[in-house]
Structure 1
Amino acid sequence: MGIARKALAAMVVLMAALLGGAPAALAVTPTAVVVEDRAGVLDKKTLLPAVQSTDFYEPTKVAIYTYDGTAADNLNAEVLRFARAEHPEWISADGQKWTDGLFIFALDPVGRHVGTYMGEDRKVSPDQREDIQNASKELLRDAQWTDGTVAGIRRGAELINQPWYRSTAFLVTAWTAVAAAVCGAAAWLIVRWRTRVSSRKELARGDASYANVSMDLQVTELNASTIPESSRYGSTVLEKHRTFVNRYNTATEVSNQVHALSRRDLGRRHNLNLVRSYADAAAELDALDDVIADTNALLNRGSTWPAAWDRQLAPFGSDLDGLENLLSERRAEGTSATAAALRSFRDESRHDVERWSAELADGSITPETALDRLRDARTHLSELLKNHADTLIDAYARNDKEAGLMRQEMDSAQAGSKARYGRSYEPSILGTVYPSYYFFSVPSFNSGFNTGVSSVSSARGGATTGYGASGGSFSGSGSSSSF
C-alpha cells in the first residue's frame, strides 16, 4: 500500500498544479427563456422559475418547443420547420446553423421524442447530447413533462461549455493512475471477499436442504412405496422418485467436494459455482421429497391430506392474489376487456376452489379429479394471461418489430431459465408432473412484460441526426431520440 500512497500524493501535486492555472467557472442564468408549448403539456408556473434560475457556464438563451407529433416523425425536421416559420432568429444569418448562444430543448409527448439543439458556440459532443436527453427520459416516460424538461435543461447547463477541468475526460485521466494503484488491489480483495461470503451462504443453504433430505430419507422411501401407480399423477411422481436415490448420491459426492474446500478456495469464482450447484441440487431434492409425501397423503387420503391439498392450491392462489397488483400497474391496461376477463376469472375461481375442497372432503370427487380441475383452471389462467399480454403489447409497441420483440420476451419468461427470470422447480404435484413452462404464472408475466418494455425502450433510444429532405443544406448541431 506504500506505492498506492506515493501515487496518490503525486496525483494530488499534479492536480494542484493543473488547477492552479485554471480559470474560475462562471455561473450565468439564461439571458432569455422562450417557451413555445404547442402541445399544451407544460406548467409554466413551475417551468419558468426552474429554468430561469439554472446556471450555465456562458450566457445562453434557452428555447423550449413542444408539439404533438407521431412516432414516425423526425423531430429534428419539425424543430427546424418551426424555427424557420416562427422564430427565424434561432437560425444563423447564413441559414445553415443554429444561432450562437442558443440552446433548444424540444419535446413531442405523443410521438415520444425528445431533442436538443445548440448554436455552434454552445454545441456538445454526440455522447453529451445523448446524456442530456437521457437525463429527462425517466420522467418523460412517466408523463412528467415539466419535470422532465427541467431535468434535461439542467443537465444541458452542466455540459454546455463545461470547463476542461470539470469534464469527465479530465477527471478520468487525472485519477487513472490512482485507480490503477489503489482501486485495482482493493477491487481484487473485495471480489474475493464477496465471492467467499456468497460461497458460505450457498454452502449453508445446501447443508440445510441436504440435512432435511438425509433425515427424511427412510420416510421418503416409505411414502413412495405406497403411492398408487395406477394414478396418472402418482405414476409420474414415482418416475421422478426412481432417480431420487441416484441424485441423492450425486449430491453427497458434491457435498464432500465443497466441504473439502479451504477458506481461500471459497473465494474463487469457479468454486462458488460448484457450491451453488450443490445447494440447488439439495434444495430440489428437499422439495421433491415433500411432493412425494404430499402425493402419498392426497391420493391415499391419509390423515394429512387437507394440508397436502392446501399446498397444491398455493401456487394458484398466489397467482389469483397477484392479479390486482398486476392490473393496477402503469401500462397494465387495467380497464381493458382482457383485464376484465382476468378479474372475472379470479372471482369465479375463488368460489370454485372452495367448492372443490368441500367436495374432496365429503368424497364427492376423487383426489385425481380435484387435481384435474386445478390443472384445467391454471391452464385457463395461462390462456387469459396470454390474451392480456397481447393487449399490453398492442398498446405499447409502435410497429410489428417492437411487438415481435415483446412477444419473444413474454414467451421466454414463460419457458425461461432460473438464471434470467428467477424461476425454479415448483414444489407441487402439478409442478412435478408438468414442465415449468406448462403454466404461465403472474410473476413470470410481470418479468416478461417488464423485460419486453426494457428491450423496446433500449431499441428506441438510438439518436436521430439530420433534418430530413426539407432541411436542405442545414447542418446545425442537434439530434433527437425516443423515450
Structure 2
Amino acid sequence: MGKMKKILAVMAVALLTLLGVAPAALASAPTDIVVEDAAGVLYQPQLLPAIAGINFRQPTKVAVVTIDGVAGSDVLNASVLELARDLHPEWLSSDGQKWADGLFIFALDPTARKVGTYMGEDLKVSAGDQAKIQDATKSLFGQAQWTDGTIAGVRKGAALINRPWYLSPGFIVTASIAGGAALVGLGTWLVLRKRNRSKAEELMKAGDASFANVSLDLDVTELNANTIPVHSTYGLQVLEKYRNFSTGYARAGVLNQQVHAFSQRELSQGKNVKIVSSYADAAIELDGLDDVIADTNTLLNKFSGWEAAWDRQVRPLRDDLDRLPELLNRSEARGLSSAAALGSFGVQTQDNLQLWASQIQTGRLQPESALDLLKETRAGLGQLLSSHSDDLIGEYAKTNSEAEKMRRTITDQRNYSTGYGRPNILGTVYGMNVFYSVSTFDHAYSSARTSVESARSSASSSGSSTGYGAGGGSFSGSGSSSSF
C-alpha cells in the first residue's frame, strides 16, 4: 500500500505540474442570507446556520424563496421575479433586466412540486449545471424534507458556481485521456478502500459502545428479567425475547473478537466491512433489548424511575403528535375531513397522555392497562392516517389507475418501513414497524405522489422551464425551474 501511495503521489505531482493548475479554495461564506418562506415549510433554526456554513468561490448573497402555489401549475419563475420586483428590488440589476451580480436565489414550490435556481450574470452556470443543482434536491423533496433539500441545493450550487475549468468533468476526461487515466483509476481504488476503512471504524465504534454497555449490565439485566411480573402479558412477551439474549450475546462476543483481529488493510476490504456491520447490528440490538427489559421491569412493578420508563414508551407517539401540525397545515390537507379528525385526535391524545401519567401515579391506572391504551391509541392514529391517505389520493389522482398506483406505493412503503427511534416495549412485543407513524406516512405519500407525476410524463409536469411568463416582459435573468 505504501508503494502504491508513493506512485500515486508522484503521478499526481507530475500531472498537475504539467498542467500548471492547483485546486481552487472555497473560502467565502454567504455575505447575506434572506429567507422568504411564503409556503411555511422551512425550519429556519436548522436552515440558516447550515447555509451560513457553506462556502462559495466568491462573495455571494443567498436568497431562499418558497411559494404556496397550486398543484399542476408552472409559475415558480414568474413568482420569484414578481417577489423580487415587489419586495426585493435590490435582487435586480440596475436596469431591471437581469438578476443582480453576486446573487444566488434558490426557490421551491412544494405544492406544485417545482424547484428553481436563479443567479446574477457573474455567477450564472450552464443549463446542465442548473439541472444538477435542482436534481441534488429531488430525492429529499420527494420525501417532503423541505429544509434538508434546500440545504442540499444551496450546497450543490456553491460547488458548481464559478467552478474552475480544471475541475469540470470535461477537463477531467481530457486529462484522463492525456495520461491521467491510471491516476484516476488508482485514486478511485484508494478512495474506495479509505471509505471502507472509515465506515468499518465507525461501525466498530458504535458496536463497541453498545457491546460495552451490554457487558457491564449483564448482571443487572438478568436481575431485571428475573423480577418482571410473569402475570403480565407484556412481561411474558419481553421475557420470551430474553430467552435468546445469552445466545445473541455469545454471538456478538465472537464477532467482537473477529473484527478486532482485523488489520487496517483488512478493514479496507468490503467483505470485512460487512462482518463489522453484522457485529454492530448485533451489539446495538442487544443494547436496545436490555434497555427494554429494564423498562419493562421498572414500569410494570412501578419501581423508582417508572416515570422515565413510561416517558420512553410514549415518546414515539409524542413524536407523531409533534409532526401532525406541519402535516395538517399543508395546502393539500386544508378542508379535508380526515385532516380535521387528525387535528382533534392530536389535541385529545395530548390530554390523555397527561391523564394516564397522573392515573398511573395515583394507582387508578395500572401500567399494564396504560400500555394497552397506548397500543390502542397508536393503532387509532394509524387508521386515521390511512383515511387521510385515501382523502389525499382522492384529491390528487385524476384517474382510477393513478389512485390505485398511489395506494400500491403507499402500501409498499409502509410494509418496508423498519420503524424508528429507540426500542420500546410495544415495539419489542409487536414489531417496531407495526404502528403507522406520521413520518412513515409522510414519506409514503410523497413517494406515491412522485410516482404518479413521473408516470404522467407531460411537458408541463416534467420539463425544465426557463421563461418568466407574460409578466416578465423583457427580463432575461439567468435561471430555470423543474419538477420533482
Q: Which residue of the partner structure matches residue 57 of structure 2?
A: none
Shift of 1:243: 0.7
Shift of 1:364: 1.4
Equivalent-residue separation in structure 2 for 1:339 and 1:401 (angstroms): 24
Equivalent-residue separation in structure 2 for 1:173 and 1:385 (angstroms): 50
Alignment of 1:250-269 (within 5 A): 250-269=251-270
Please tell me the residue identity of whatever aligns with 2:425: I
Question: Please, which runs of 5 or more residues in structure 1 have no aligned partner?
Answer: 13-38, 55-109, 114-127, 143-164, 465-480
Equivalent-residue separation in structure 2 for 1:133 and 1:386 (angstroms): 35
Cα 1:220–1:401 change in 2 (3 A) is same
Deviation string 1:81-121 (CA, Å, 9 cap, x unpaired) is xxxxxxxxxxxxxxxxxxxxxxxxxxxxx9999xxxxxxxx
Shift of 1:130: 10
Identity of aligned residues (%): 41
Q: Which residue of the partner structure matches residue 446 of structure 2?
A: 450
Shift of 1:170: 6.6
Cα 1:320–1:261 change in 2 (3 A) is same
Q: Which residue of the partner structure matches residue 389 of structure 2?
A: 389
Alignment of 1:174-213 (within 5 A): 174-177=174-177, 180-213=181-214
Please tell me the residue identity of whatever aligns with 2:287: D
Question: Please, which runs of 5 or more residues in structure 2 have no aligned partner?
Answer: 1-7, 21-72, 86-91, 100-110, 115-125, 145-164, 461-481
Cα 1:435–1:232 change in 2 (3 A) is same
Larger Rg belongs to: 1
Q: Which residue of the partner structure matches residue 400 of structure 2?
A: 400
Q: Which residue of the partner structure matches residue 119 of structure 1?
A: none
Deviation string 1:339-395 (CA, Å, 9 cap, x unpaired) is 111110010011111111122111112211111111101100011111112222233
**Mapped contact 1:327–1:334 kept (Cα < 8 A):** yes
**Mapped contact 1:11–1:174 kept (Cα < 8 A):** no
Please tell me the residue identity of whatever aligns with 1:328: N
**Mapped contact 2:316–2:421 kept (Cα < 8 A):** no
Q: Does 1:238 align with 2:234?
A: no
Q: Which residue of the partner structure matches residue 424 of structure 2?
A: 428
Alignment of 1:42-191 (within 5 A): 42=78, 174-177=174-177, 180-191=181-192
Aligned Cα root-mean-square deviation (Å):
4.0
Q: Which residue of the partner structure matches residue 122 of structure 1?
A: none
Q: After alignment, is 391-400 or 347-356 more displaced?
A: 391-400
Equivalent-residue separation in structure 2 for 1:256 and 1:169 (angstroms): 44
Q: After alignment, is 394-403 or 261-270 more displaced?
A: 394-403
Partner of 2:412, secondary structure, is helix
Equivalent-residue separation in structure 2 for 1:337 and 1:247 (angstroms): 48
Cα 1:365–1:133 change in 2 (3 A) is closer
Cα 1:411–1:426 change in 2 (3 A) is farther
Equivalent-residue separation in structure 2 for 1:6 and 1:304 (angstroms): 66
Q: Which residue of the partner structure matches residue 277 of structure 2?
A: 276
**Mapped contact 2:15–2:180 kept (Cα < 8 A):** no
Shift of 1:169: 9.9
Cα 1:221–1:133 change in 2 (3 A) is closer
Please tell me the residue identity of whatever aligns with 1:374: L
Partner of 1:384, secondary structure, is helix
Shift of 1:445: 1.4
Q: Which residue of the partner structure matches residue 364 of structure 1?
A: 364
How many pairs align? 345
**Mapped contact 1:11–1:175 kept (Cα < 8 A):** no
If the length of structure 1 is used for normalisation, what is the TM-score?
0.61
If the length of structure 2 is used for normalisation, what is the TM-score?
0.61
Shift of 1:268: 1.6
Cα 1:450–1:202 change in 2 (3 A) is same
Q: After alignment, is 256-265 or 129-138 more displaced?
A: 129-138
Cα 1:211–1:171 change in 2 (3 A) is closer
Cα 1:454–1:195 change in 2 (3 A) is farther
Shift of 1:298: 1.5
Please tell me the residue identity of whatever aligns with 1:262: S
